[in-house]
Structure 1
Amino acid sequence: MASGKILAICQSGGEFVTNNDGSMSYSGGEAHAIDIDRDMLLHDLKSEISSMFNCNIDAFSIKYFLPSNRRVLITVSNDKDLQRMVDFHAGSDTTDVFILKKIENRIIRSVVADSGTPTNATTATVATIENVKRQKLCIDWDNMITGVGQVFESPRAFRDALHKYAIANSFMYRFVKNDASRVTAECSADDCPWRIHASRSPVKKEFMIKKMTETHACRKEVGKEGNRLASQRWVASVIKDKLRDTPNYRPREIASDLHREYGLSLNYAQAWRGKFVAKKQLYSSHEEACNQLPWFCERISETNPGSVTALVTCDDSKFCFFVAFYASLNGFEHGCRPLLFLDGISLKANRHWKLLAATSVDGEGDIFPVAISVVDAESKENWHWFLLQLKSAFNMSRTITFISNGQNGLTEEIRSVFEDSYHGYCLNHLIENFKTELEESWTQEVKDSMVEHLKQAVYACKVDEFNQCIDSIKTESKELAEWLLNTKPESWSDAFFKGLRNGQYSSTAPETVNNWISTRYELSVVQMVDMIRCKMMEMMYARRESSNTWTETLAPSANQKVQEELVKARTLNVICSTANVFEVHDDSVNVVNIETWECTCRRWQVTGLPCMHALAVFERTDLCIYDYCSKYFTTECYRSTYSLPISPIPDIGRPACSDPSHSTIICPPRTRRLAGRPKEKPDDPRITVKRAVRCSRCKGFGHNKQTCKVSILKVEHIS
């Protein structure tokens, strides 16, 4: 078969037979052939199978064997699983695909004895149940971490592998460093030297193990300490896939499997809570997507006409939800510079979902949310879908500059959806990756100096300035300077970048959004998005009212920058060449062209505000400074950004429709209390007015009879 395409023989209605070597073979039933390629979606495959066998595919599972392993059936539950199946069998003539009822996931119907003849049905059933119980939840956890050079998709994937590796190898660990660019962990046992460090390579965009101690010096045992790693969320992550295929997976079976495989002694309640969390992750969010989110989309469209919403639900309990309020779209189009930051935000209030956000900045340089999307994970496919929705929401032809961390295929996806756009690299991520490349033997002073040289290289407007910064880094380390040049400076240095950033290099969206939805309860998607809407509504009102008091042509921060540069400009010497071209002398000679808004120092072009050389020309020629500032820094443009409000959405707590599925009040679910003491005692809603304490002896307020210090004579006088 051609690469990326297989011929699948879909079989159903038969039964499996276990051979004496442990492998399984399938006999009976009917079979159909179908071509499957990497671009086929699971939904399309299910539709084909449903029409082939005239059945409801939702009641069936799709499984297959690996080419060299006919003992373990692999389940196809999403599009990536389907792509993996095609990749595994790309060189095979045909591929066997089995369509099994979900209630028949215990699939072995007969067992072949040594003689090759099936045993009786009773024996077969017993063997079937035993084999199911002994089927491992996850395979080869002992080898999840192999050593230096092992590559992972992301820091989260590395942390998950480390967690499973520690449980399988019976030791506890603690994090020394743990962020988006590097993870360092060490054994928590005293005097044990075991340590592991992994970080991201900005060149290949891989998260790789850089250092690892091979052996432990501690006595590894699993007891009560080992159970600390087996949290209910971890148990849920382990059993989720098996629970999807076997809904009747009982807590006692969960506890038995984990004890047999990893020696973890979980009681019934711990296993039950793990199953509860897994079921909630599998079904609750999908039920909400099917029931509450369509209603929420309608309410947004009714109360905020012109807003754009989109909702896609999948059969594998996943969904994508997109919303861009009309006030945000209008503000971005008429008031904000064509600059968008793309961020994948991990939510502290709810870790089941990721928030994809597109934010811009206003004339003051403050964050301006444009669109958000709730997805199950930050992946290339989800970013592609988000960018498509974002493009359909815009009614403008401006060339947009995007700033992101470039991960999860964002660079390619931006280029494919917004063909004429520019893409820059986020400064914060660049600095974090740069720090991981610094020599550990260097002093902190040298490290800080290297980071400062990097920032100067980012802000450098001319090529010679950029080269000076690289030379300063090269004096300490030629390898570090070479690494920096390999990160494509045209995507982050002002000396080469062709997009329009106007001095904005990083986004504060993750911190802002997490502060907006800070709560002690896990929120539903509707609650979370509506809380963000309320914060945006409040923010836009406050900034609109504040701007009404401004009297200057430029926004306050831009006006302050111009005034500071104007002080420097008054000491410069200006020589006129033509009506539009001038020569300005300071430490060097710069040429200013007021017709094209250009100066050879390039700061006017980069920032959007006149540099001191241009301001010196304006002072000499009595030209109006504000006529040569980018419109995005004017007060008028700022007010246009916040000219339209986000309207309230009434009855958000109770869907107002006749559909019975929408009749449930959206309330915060009961969850485990977060660690730490609450910041303040929650108010009792039954107590509306607190009565002041009054002394029954002297009739005074603020104390009682036992603590009264008034003399008896005064008390008699009062009475």
Structure 2
Amino acid sequence: MASEKILTVCQYGGDFVRNNDGSMSYSGGDAHAIDIDSKMSLEDLKSEIASMFSFSDEPFSIKYFLPRNKRTPITISNDKDLRRMISYHANSDTTDIYVTKISESRMIRSDVTDSGTFTNTDITQLANFNEAEQIKICSDWDNLITGVGQVFSTSNNFRDALHKYAIAHSFIYKLVKNDQFRVTAECTVEDCPWRIHASRSSAKQKFMIKKINPSHTCGKELTRESHKLASQRWVASVIKDKLREIPNYKPKDIANDLEQEYGLSLNYSQVWCGKSIAKKELYNPFEEAFNQLSWFCDRIIETNPGSVATLHKSNDLRFRFFVAFHASLYGFEHGCRPFLFLDAFSLKENRHLKFLAATAVDGENDIYPVAFSVVDTENNETWHWFLEQLKSSFTQSRAITFISSSQNGMEEELPKVFEDGFHCYSEQYLIENFQNEMKSSWTQEVKDKMIHHLKSAIYANTVNEFNECIENIRSESKEIAEWVLGTKPETWSDAFFKGLRYGQYSSVAVEKYNDWLSVGSEPSVLQIADTMRCSLMELMYSRRVSCNTWTEALVPSANQKVQEDMIRAHSFALVRPIGTVFEVSDESTNVVNTETNECTCRRWQVSGLPCIHALAVIEHTNGCIYEYCSKYFSSECYRIAYSLSINPIPDVGMPVCTNPFQFSSACSLRARRLAGRPKEKPDEPRIAIKRPLRCSKCQAVGHNKRTCKTEAHSE
């Protein structure tokens, strides 16, 4: 490479434009081509550029973009930077560099135009630091927060933009509220009025800034205090893309680049830890996908025939891992109601991994895990892939109801894969958004009352019941009532929803999965998958054993509910006008059709169990109650759901083989024993059985031949 040359397009006088995807492009100006090789010094390059554009003695800077990364321009400030740039583009036919003039005293930053265009002097700005130092701040971050109405795709994107904005404007903030639905931050300086609040928009699609007080009275200055925001994880997020391009990116070079590009003077330890985090996020799951998960997929299919285990790997260090055991699939299709909760969450001990899960509910309303996936990113593409794997795992075709909290991309991708499926929002998700719309001036009693009205609207079986709940909300706030109506009640209220939820509105699966996966250390993808397998093995076995003692036709919870409702139904008056149609009167009059299993109160259709009006009819006609209940509440279906077992997979541990391209199933996955004496005894030491001492002469117990006194007594 030392003797080769790179054809370089040198551009000056144009504008940097920020694109919608966050990347930057250069528009306008003049362009000239020059040859650069690794022997050229920075001074020689600057001399040629100055002659090319007829510069006099004005100072200027030179910048470039990394391959496949158009988000952050990199400054060439010394010969080493120049050689590094040449090395990055060694396989490219041409490369582009951008020349920016600098005034003698400072970099001049002009304001951003309405069109989103940055002038050619809008890259960095100099500020005084202890009267002896000048620091540059990346002005790309100056305008990441623009004001009320600005929209972000997720809460994480908003937090990331806020973090960079605070660094660019040199102030420290603290998060007052911080979750996936709302984020509130304020300046840490006492009495400073700066404050910002963002939450999900009413359309439930984007994260929007709702309130902001942009004024600072704290006399903020660019001090080293602002560098507290540059945490190790933040450093990892900044250098991750560059580290993907340059695996041997040294901490010293990282520190120099952060100081040149962002004005942050970080010590070696901070940078080293940030690089370690970035490497772990980039390479560990990908390497594991090569040397562990491929083997594990084969072992799952081998030991559990009929199971689905899929691993998708890409060249850009992305992976997706999907597992659905045959026992779970069979139990869901033959013994569980046709609806699934879709959940996504970050693992407590390994937050750079995302866990996706499809969870059913058995006849006892306990969670029934069907399939799960571990991915490195949650977005439209990963949800589409997960849903495709899920659909291909099923052997039966039936309309499935999906309940979710509208995770990133899932809502858009679901109808593309399950065309005949139904989707609705979970109760918990709706209530959390509802709380965000409430007025802060309301008392807790009023808030609780409003939440009660919303829950009643969710459980409403008829349109009249739903409208009554909305009017109760409207009596307190017309704005919130209109907000509720704008959230598409057909996706969450029983009065309008076309699918079947069988009385299920929110999932507790995330809490259960987190309990299972809390291993006390940062787990690998293999450990996550095998921990899930072990938990499912125990779950299937324990519930299969418990249901063997049941004697009733219905599962215990359903049987108890039917018996309690039967007592209430004794006092109802019945009229039988025609065939299987009955009129039942209590406080109101309802019509029951025992042939179609319908009642005008709609509780029978919604829950799958006969309502009190239907029970009155069944008792009056001496019918068998169990024949009018959904089969999914029968003890038989419950036993079918847990009839199969998940088989063990031997030799699951950490791999001894370290070469990801030479790994095979022959490599042992047993964990290596650490050197040295164990610090603690095993939790369950093997019990040693000591045989009693027996004499070989007299056969008595308690002594041996040498101490035997039998001969002495005989003599």
TM-score, normalised by the number of residues in structure 2: 0.77
The residue number in structure 2 matching 1:631 is 631
The residue number in structure 1 matching 2:534 is 534
The residue number in structure 2 matching 1:397 is 397
Query: Across the two proteins, how many residue pairs are aligned to each other?
Result: 591
Sequence identity, in percent? 59
Deviation at 1:171, TM superposition (A): 2.1
SS of the counterpart of 1:461? Answer: coil
Whether 1:684 aligns to 2:680 is yes
SS of the counterpart of 1:143? Answer: coil
The residue number in structure 2 matching 1:125 is none
Contact (CA 8 Å) 1:201, 1:433: kept in 2 or not? no
The residue number in structure 1 matching 2:663 is 661
The residue number in structure 2 matching 1:520 is 520
Amino acid at match of 1:15: L
CA shift digits 1:364-390 (9 cap, x unpaired):
111111111111111011111111111
Check 1:102–1:265 CA distance in 2 against 1; reply closer, same or farther (3 A cut): closer
- Please list, as runs of the form range in 1=range in 2, the aligned pairs for 1:579-598 lying within 5 A after superposition: 579-598=579-598
Check 1:551–1:195 CA distance in 2 against 1; reply closer, same or farther (3 A cut): same
| Larger-Rg structure | 2
Contact (CA 8 Å) 1:13, 1:28: kept in 2 or not? no
Whether 1:270 aligns to 2:270 is yes
Contact (CA 8 Å) 1:138, 1:238: kept in 2 or not? no
* In structure 2, distance between residues paired with 1:20 and 1:364: 71
* In structure 1, distance between residues paired with 2:9 and 2:437: 55
The residue number in structure 2 matching 1:167 is 167
Check 1:441–1:266 CA distance in 2 against 1; reply closer, same or farther (3 A cut): same
CA shift digits 1:235-254 (9 cap, x unpaired):
11111112222333221222
- Please list, as runs of the form range in 1=range in 2, the aligned pairs for 1:274-285 lying within 5 A after superposition: 274-285=274-285
Check 1:20–1:154 CA distance in 2 against 1; reply closer, same or farther (3 A cut): closer
Check 1:272–1:667 CA distance in 2 against 1; reply closer, same or farther (3 A cut): farther
CA shift digits 1:550-582 (9 cap, x unpaired):
121111111121122111101111122233111
* In structure 2, distance between residues paired with 1:339 and 1:527: 28
SS of the counterpart of 1:496? Answer: coil
Check 1:441–1:112 CA distance in 2 against 1; reply closer, same or farther (3 A cut): closer
* In structure 1, distance between residues paired with 2:575 and 2:306: 53
SS of the counterpart of 2:578? Answer: coil
SS of the counterpart of 2:352? Answer: coil
Amino acid at match of 1:244: R
* In structure 2, distance between residues paired with 1:362 and 1:153: 35
Check 1:328–1:19 CA distance in 2 against 1; reply closer, same or farther (3 A cut): closer
Contact (CA 8 Å) 1:17, 1:112: kept in 2 or not? no
CA shift digits 1:217-243 (9 cap, x unpaired):
224356664443322221111111122
TM-score, normalised by the number of residues in structure 1: 0.76
Deviation at 1:184, TM superposition (A): 1.0
SS of the counterpart of 1:211? Answer: strand
CA shift digits 1:524-551 (9 cap, x unpaired):
1001111111111111111111111112
SS of the counterpart of 1:140? Answer: helix
Amino acid at match of 2:316: D
Equivalent of 1:18 in 10, 14, 32: 10
Deviation at 1:339, TM superposition (A): 0.2
CA shift digits 1:374-433 (9 cap, x unpaired):
111110111111111111110001111111123433233111111111111111111111
CA shift digits 1:303-339 (9 cap, x unpaired):
1111011111111110111110001100100110000
The residue number in structure 2 matching 1:549 is 549
- Please list, as runs of the form range in 1=range in 2, the aligned pairs for 1:351-366 lying within 5 A after superposition: 351-366=351-366
* In structure 2, distance between residues paired with 1:339 and 1:259: 53
- Please list, as runs of the form range in 1=range in 2, the aligned pairs for 1:567-586 lying within 5 A after superposition: 567-586=567-586
Contact (CA 8 Å) 1:155, 1:182: kept in 2 or not? yes
- Could you tell me which runs of 5 or more consecutive residues in structure 2 were left unpaired when the two chains were aligned: 15-28, 36-61, 72-84, 102-123, 125-133, 687-715
The residue number in structure 2 matching 1:39 is none
Deviation at 1:639, TM superposition (A): 0.9
Check 1:507–1:100 CA distance in 2 against 1; reply closer, same or farther (3 A cut): farther
Amino acid at match of 1:614: A
- Please list, as runs of the form range in 1=range in 2, the aligned pairs for 1:403-552 lying within 5 A after superposition: 403-552=403-552
Equivalent of 2:65 in 62, 67, 73: 73
Q: Give runs of ≥4 in structure 1 deviating > 6 Å.
A: 105-114, 134-138, 656-659, 686-690
* In structure 2, distance between residues paired with 1:359 and 1:688: 34
Contact (CA 8 Å) 1:222, 1:263: kept in 2 or not? no
Contact (CA 8 Å) 2:11, 2:97: kept in 1 or not? no
Check 1:135–1:225 CA distance in 2 against 1; reply closer, same or farther (3 A cut): closer
Whether 1:183 aligns to 2:183 is yes
The residue number in structure 1 matching 2:111 is none
Name which of structure 1's ranges 17-26 and 516-525 shifts more when overlaid on structure 2: 17-26
Whether 1:200 aligns to 2:196 is no
* In structure 2, distance between residues paired with 1:111 and 1:616: 83
SS of the counterpart of 1:661? Answer: coil
* In structure 2, distance between residues paired with 1:75 and 1:109: 10
Deviation at 1:212, TM superposition (A): 1.1
Deviation at 1:685, TM superposition (A): 3.7
Contact (CA 8 Å) 1:137, 1:239: kept in 2 or not? no
Amino acid at match of 1:493: S
* In structure 2, distance between residues paired with 1:112 and 1:560: 79
Check 1:318–1:100 CA distance in 2 against 1; reply closer, same or farther (3 A cut): farther
